[in-house]
Structure 1
Amino acid sequence: MSKEKLKLLAKDLTKEYPRSPRETLGGYVLAARCIDKCRAVLNETQGEYHYACPLDQRWLKFAEINPEELKAFVATGATDDEIANWVQQHAKKRSRTEIVQWNNKERDTRLSDLPPETQEYMEDYVQKYVPRNRPVYHWFDVFDLEEERI
């Protein structure tokens, strides 16, 4: 593991936010945020964030990527471009159209579209972390509102 390279790339999630779930890496939404959390976990600067959480799992399951194999690759100090190439080699082979459709479905997911247990969790989470009087239209809005991107 290249600790020095990793340290340069890892965000300190105790002081800054991971990228928006809308931001893409390797063509997938959620992936860039997942990688930010993975690097921070490896660098022990994750704060309250968790790698391979239910949000990350949506992408990992769609791409059929093993989270531990990805983590091992990220631990080498791989750049975003190197990770994108690794993802393209290890993800389930899908057409660009399938990936774009999945990305759009994720971007459009409303809280009411989530599994019941996630809806229940988000009910309290939104009240606690999303600024008052800010409507939540889509699941990704929760993170972007909380992390002051919108």
Structure 2
Amino acid sequence: MALFSFDLTQRPPRSPRVRLGGFVCLPRLLDKGRAHLAGKAGEYRYNCPLDQRWFSFTGLSADALLGELAKGKSDSEMLAWILETTPRRREPSEILGWSAYMETRAPGDAESHQVFAESLAKLAPAREDIASWFDLLDLDDHVSFGGRA
């Protein structure tokens, strides 16, 4: 099977809200990994802090996942591999709980609040509805590819 190429210089990865197997972030992570392998990641970084939260939750390594992506596996094949391989087996209720938490996660400490506020000020200073990291990522993806804030 040929390596799936996803060009993140032309469009953003899937929203972190999109789920695969109940996991938020996973489709976005797969998009970034495929783009990284193809040399088409643009400004997106595979194994960024958000990705690292997913790896920590599952116990998988970024290198192992990237190795499987390099084999040209589809999303469903990747999910099957993840569920078979993860050292931290999670019940569906744990995955759903973690995903719900991640979806609403907001800045916690003072430094995170500052980073969040500075990013929002650059993207859309008049927006008052951006409260979570996922909100900010979706907004950044939209604006980065020509959308209005």
Is the deviation greater in 52-61 or in 134-143?
Answer: 134-143
Q: 1:107 to 1:74 in 2, by over 3 A?
A: same
1:23 aligns with 2:39: no
CA offsets, 1:4-56, max 9 Å, x none? x21xx322111100000001123210111111110000000000111000011
Is the deviation greater in 119-128 or in 47-56?
Answer: 119-128
Gaps of 5+ in 2: none
SS in 1 for 2:46: coil
Q: 1:126 aligns with which of 120, 123, 131?
A: 120
CA offsets, 1:75-131, max 9 Å, x none? 0111001001011112211111111111111011112x3x55444433322222x33
Q: 1:41 to 1:96 in 2, by over 3 A?
A: same
Q: 2:52 aligns with which of 53, 57, 73?
A: 57
In structure 1, C-alpha distance between the alignment counterparts of 2:141 and 2:47, rounded to whole Å: 19
Aligned to 1:33: 28
Gaps of 5+ in 1: none
Q: 1:77 to 1:117 in 2, by over 3 A?
A: farther
Whether contact under 8 Å (1:13, 1:47) holds in the other structure is yes
Q: 1:119 to 1:89 in 2, by over 3 A?
A: farther
Q: TM-score scaled to structure 1, two decimals?
A: 0.86
Q: TM-score scaled to structure 2, two decimals?
A: 0.86
In structure 2, C-alpha distance between the alignment counterparts of 1:116 and 1:83, rounded to whole Å: 37
SS in 2 for 1:24: coil
In structure 1, C-alpha distance between the alignment counterparts of 2:120 and 2:12, rounded to whole Å: 17
Aligned to 2:41: 46
